[in-house]
Structure 1
Amino acid sequence: MLKALLFVFVSACLVGLSPAVARAAKLPSARATAHVVGKLTESGRIHGLVVGYVNPSGRVTYGFGRAGADKRSKAPDGRTLFEIGSITKAFTGQMLAQAVMEGRLRITDPIRLYLPQGVIDKDSPLYWVSFLDLATHTSGLPEAPDNLPSTDPRNPMAGYSTALLLDYLKTATLLSPVGRDFSYSNTAAGLTGYILARLWNSDYETLVKTRLCAPLHMTDTTIALSPEQAARMTRGHATDGQVVPNWEVTGLEGAGAFRSSAEDLLTFAAANMGLVPTPLLPAMKLAQLPRKHVPAIPTLYIGLFWNVMNFGGKEFVLHAGRSGGYFAIVLLSPEDQAAVVLLCDTEGDFSDQAWKLLSLVAGKRLP
């Protein structure tokens, strides 16, 4: 559900760099980027997308396709907003790591200690579920709770609430024993976000914006849009090109409610690699630490909601987001100090293109 480009209408948005300077600084060019993603917008498969790169030389973003419905509309750019779906989980993992660093909880604590009394009783299968189980998708909780009120497949999370989530937990059953099997769970991520917000006496959006976005000056990472941001928000498209509604993720915000821009996500990626000075770096490294292996995918490990791929002893940190009308991915190579962000306003899976783009910014062929 929340799992997780062109020469025509090309625009480049460079932060403090002209295209010529960007090339001299060994950041990928618009032409090289279009070679990887060009057919997607050229063919009409993608309506509009943005690619962003960051490495020690700086950062650059390129937009392709159209930002609006008008065929004469310009390409999206680094400040265009997209749904980012499950990339929100990386924010949830960051908040969890900060809570651990501040001594507010231990990663192995049972979550029942932090929930309202009576939600999880001694006979509940969730009695020994810990934060580590939630963050590594080994809690046994299903992908989605069974009491979602929406019957609209185009907006499946709409109308959910914290009250419904707590009601669900009282009678929830698990897909497998706690801590044993990997099973991707929006329920687990949404629950983690709720508990963390409760721990700080906040709501989830305010928590992330106050403790992550504000220190990093990520001013366009938000759930609720201001009128000015709404004017820069793209419309999502189904695989057939039809415009679809933006998702309303309520009650499970920690699983996938945020919207963001390529510029903000490049800042987040740079901070996670130590390219942006921030006191949040120790918690970021804690969140990236591989904790559980996924046997079905031998190269995959899970940190605190981050996916960590290991190819030949080299780690790559990533998270993708996929909703009814969007695809988004943040892909980091910490060893190369390089990252790529890809945001598009059409549903699908464009991870393969992201890996090719990462090879460009890392300056070497990657697995």
Structure 2
Amino acid sequence: MRILLAALLLLACLPASAAAGRPKALPSARATAQVVGKLTASGRIHGLVVGFVSPEGRAVYGFGHFGEGKNDPPPDGRTLFELGSITKTFTGQMLAQAIMEGRVRATDPMRLYLPQGVIAKDSPLFWVSLLDLATHTSGLPEAPSNLPSTDPRNPLAGYSTALLLDYLRTAKPIAPVGQDFYYSNTAAGALGLMLARLWDTDYETLVKTRLCAPLFLRDTTISLSPDQAARMTRAHAADGGLLPNWDVTGLEGAGAFRSTAEDMLTYAAANLGIQPSPLLPAMKLAQLPRKHVSSIPTLYIGLFWNIMNFGGKEYVLHAGRSGGYFALVLLSPEDGAGVVFLSDTEGDFSDEGWKLLELVSGKRQP
């Protein structure tokens, strides 16, 4: 571990240009529109924001409409969107910081960080580790079975920490622990709860204190101020109809945060090492590939980050899909380039994300 931490600290001291090579001019609004303009022009997406970051700087472009009127302006870099599962990378970052500070070990059983008796000696979760949770190999299902909401448009509403603990007391793995990849909001929510307990606070305060404050992410939040509420987009179904914003309670570590393109570009720049930050060693620790996803040969999982390897290069990414939103952070560490894609309409726009990364890195992606 000492050798690993020393290597991470060395990486933190390297200039971004060492990884990025010669900076490339940032994509223009016209070039960006050639990739995503058709999505809003056709009505497939109501409103979206694209952000680029590289050693050259950053650029943000909005498309479509912020409000419901046809003449309303597009969203911009200060418009808030739901991040969905990108929140999980915040949870992974909190775990990485806890590991580097010696508060936990990745292989520690989860039972050590829950109230006594939640995971009994005869529980099949007795040896589930923090690493199992963070790599989606815990065997826990995508969602707990005791969700009280019957509204498919807001499925996590009304959940609570008490309900999550009740679920964990009797939960049984649905896949082999520590082996098979099985995407789990339950695991991410549970880990978020454990980390908040570790610092004796709630999950939102933990992330805001230990991630948002050092990076000056002023609009990355769960609860909205009146000003932020006025800048928050409304969610849209694929057919353009309005949807309610999700209420993610009890499983905040899985997908509760909202943010802006400006904040997410700062987060991307910090993860790439373009923006100096004391968090970089922990960020690099979170990005280390930990488990291979056998069903997707190019995919590895770090501490919730997805790491893809192809063409002799490594990419770090995570997408988020909540009701009526799609969000993506896509990083190319070798090129020192990143893309942020925030949409107020449900769907999967990963293909457009890869094309946008090609614009900013100057290299063809899959």
Give the TM bin, normalised by the shorter chain.
over 0.9
Report the counterpart of residue 347 of structure 2 in structure 1.
Answer: 348
Letter in 2 for 1:265: M
Distance 1:125 1:176 in 2: 11
Distance 2:310 2:302 in 1: 16
Could you say what secondary structure the match of 1:133 adopts?
Answer: helix
**TM-score when scaled to structure 1?**
0.93
* Equivalent residue, structure 2, for 1:155: 154
Determine the structure 2 residue equivalent to 1:304: 303
Show CA shifts across 1:215-243 (max 9, x none): 00000000000000000000000111101
Aligned to 2:119: 120
User: 1-side partners of 2:176 and 2:54: how far apart?
Assistant: 42
| Matched ranges for 1:21-100 at <5 A | 26-100=25-99
For the pair 1:185 / 2:184, whether they are aligned, the reply is: yes
User: Aligned-pair distance for 1:151?
Assistant: 0.2
**Residue 257 in 1 paired to residue 266 in 2?**
no
Q: Which residue in 2 is equivalent to 1:199?
A: 198
**SS at structure 2 position matched to 1:220:** coil
Q: Distance in 2 between matches of 1:348 and 1:33?
A: 19
Map 1:128-139; keep pairs closer than 5 Å: 128-139=127-138
Counterpart CA distance in 2 for 1:192 and 1:230 is 28
**What RMSD in Å do the two structures reach over aligned CA positions?**
0.8
Aligned residues with identical type, % of pairs? 78
| Deviation (angstroms), 1:70 | 1.4
One-letter amino acid of the counterpart of residue 155, structure 1: N
- What is the rounded CA distance, in whole Å, between the counterparts of 1:337 and 1:242 in structure 2? 38
Paired with 1:54 and 1:312, the residues of 2 have a C-alpha distance of 22
Q: Using the alignment, how far apart are the partners of 1:226 and 1:31 within structure 2?
A: 34
In the alignment, structure 1 residue 236 sits paired with structure 2 residue 235: yes
Shift of residue 25 of structure 1?
Answer: 6.2
Q: Is the 8 A contact 2:238 2:346 kept in 1?
A: yes
1:238-293: CA deviations, max 9, x gaps?
A: 11110100000000000000000000000000000111111100000000000000
Aligned to 2:312: 313
Task: Report the 3-state secondary structure (helix = DSSP H, G, I; strand = E; otherwise coil) of the residue aligned with 1:49.
Answer: strand
The aligned residue for residue 6 of structure 1 is none
CA deviations over 1:67-105 (Å, ceiling 9, x no partner): 001111100000000001000000000000000001110
> How far apart, CA to CA, are the structure 1 residues paired with 2:248 and 2:290?
28
- The answer on whether the counterparts of 2:27 and 2:359 sit within 8 Å (CA) in structure 1 is yes
SS of 2:321's equivalent? strand
- 1:161 alignment partner AA: S
TM-score, structure 2 as length reference: 0.93
Whole-angstrom distance in 1 between the partners of 2:213 and 2:169: 35
* Letter in structure 2 aligned against 1:27: L
Q: What secondary structure, in the 3-state scheme, does the structure 2 residue paired with 1:331 have?
A: strand
What displacement does 1:324 show? 1.1
Write out per-residue CA displacement over residues 158-211 of structure 1, whole angstroms, 9 at most, x where no aligned residue.
Answer: 000000000000110111221011000000000000000000001000000000
Q: Structure 2 counterpart of 1:321, which letter? A: G
Query: Unaligned regions of 5+ residues in structure 1, if any?
Result: 1-23
Say whether residues 1:111 and 2:139 are aligned partners. Answer: no
Report if the CA contact (8 A) 2:24-2:362 is conserved: no
Q: Write the mapping of 1:274-313 to structure 2, written as runs, cut at 5 A.
A: 274-313=273-312
The answer to whether residue 329 in structure 2 is matched with residue 339 in structure 1 is: no
Structure 2 residue runs without a partner (length 5+): 1-22
